[in-house]
Structure 1
């Protein structure tokens, strides 16, 4: 099961917190390709795809019984982070809650990249944050995997598919570096096994029908019939 583009777009707007929807869509594309019922068995390095939440929950419950570690859902949230966010094997598959946790993890990684002082450009910091989201450090995501591509390569390919036309900049901006905005601070969270990691209202998405409760572009329901 893969979420339709309008459904995912609406979900990112409602549940993505402080992370730009394009950035979050990029991460979700790499992590799960928009399939909310993907489970990665981290212990055995295998991936499993299910058609329903019940099937996915049953599978991770079995993994838990034998002590295997796993990541689940749209953002592939690692089980070691469940406790810190009040997630369970069941609620971790809720679309909105999964996206919210993913956004918080990525946000903290972004500020960790800025605080390191190694990434003065926001695009560099974002890619370092993507590596951090993947591996809890700023280097692993840049290393080539067995398929010949790194996590950052996959992220670059994914974002290029989202928007082929770049954002317009102010007149005179040229090609100069865009400075990072370090005015906001957030609490520390971690995605990888190195550390264990809030309940939210349910998303206004009709899960069974795989359709948004309203048109995806009508965020504020101004055009409801």
Structure 2
């Protein structure tokens, strides 16, 4: 089973905590391929994929009875972390709980990276945090493995697919495209540009009324003919 993009997006918004959804999607892509019922037998270095929660729970219970170590779910939470984060063999497969714990672990790793003073750049700190998430240290995730790639390499490859087109942000600096704080009014999460002479903005209703036939956005006069 693989979660759909829409389902995962909703879960990340609801359960992702303080970690950006793109970062969490990157980690989940590498860890589980967005399959919430994956179990890695850490002791034997094998991965196992199940169709439903009951099968996955049955398997980890068997591993636990043998004293073997494992990681489970979307974020592949390691069994050694279950107690600290209030998880059990049953609840680790709960989508939201797994995401919350994964987010908390990654957030701690990120701030550990920043506080170390070795990663002043945000993106470098995020890669170090990915290594920490993978191995609880800032070095193991950068080492090449059998496939010739490191955990961080795989994360970079995954995020390149996920973050293909970045979010458009306000233009800053000098020039005709500059949007100053004086020309923007923000209210209730909506941005209204300063009205032109033929526009009247109502910040209470979130609408912009035209006072002339020509629309301000119709720069080529396509809709005024």
State the TM bucket, normalised to the shorter chain. Answer: 0.7 to 0.9
1-side partners of 2:165 and 2:56: how far apart?
Answer: 37
Q: How far is 1:85 from its partner?
A: 1.4
Q: How far is 1:29 from its partner?
A: 0.5
Q: How far is 1:168 from its partner?
A: 4.4
Give the aligned partner of residue 64 of structure 1. 64
Give the aligned partner of residue 176 of structure 1. none
Give the aligned partner of residue 51 of structure 1. 51
Q: How far is 1:164 from its partner?
A: 1.4
Give the aligned partner of residue 101 of structure 2. 101
2-side partners of 1:34 and 1:171: how far apart?
Answer: 35
Q: How far is 1:6 from its partner?
A: 0.4
Q: Deviations over 1:102-131 (max 9, x none)?
A: 000000000000000011110010000000
TM-score, length of structure 1 as denominator length: 0.75
2-side partners of 1:168 and 1:141: how far apart?
Answer: 31
Can you give the 5+ residue segments of structure 2 that lack an aligned partner in the other structure?
A: 174-225
1-side partners of 2:118 and 2:169: how far apart?
Answer: 24
2-side partners of 1:108 and 1:17: how far apart?
Answer: 12
Give the aligned partner of residue 139 of structure 2. 139
2-side partners of 1:24 and 1:17: how far apart?
Answer: 10
2-side partners of 1:140 and 1:169: how far apart?
Answer: 35
Q: How far is 1:166 from its partner?
A: 3.4
Can you give the 5+ residue segments of structure 1 that lack an aligned partner in the other structure?
A: 174-225
Query: How many residues were matched structurally?
Result: 173
Q: Deviations over 1:180-204 (max 9, x none)?
A: xxxxxxxxxxxxxxxxxxxxxxxxx
Give the aligned partner of residue 33 of structure 1. 33
Q: Deviations over 1:6-58 (max 9, x none)?
A: 00111111000000000001000000000000000000000000001000000
> Which is higher, the Rg of structure 1 or of structure 2?
2
TM-score, length of structure 2 as denominator length: 0.75
2-side partners of 1:112 and 1:6: how far apart?
Answer: 32
Give the aligned partner of residue 151 of structure 1. 151
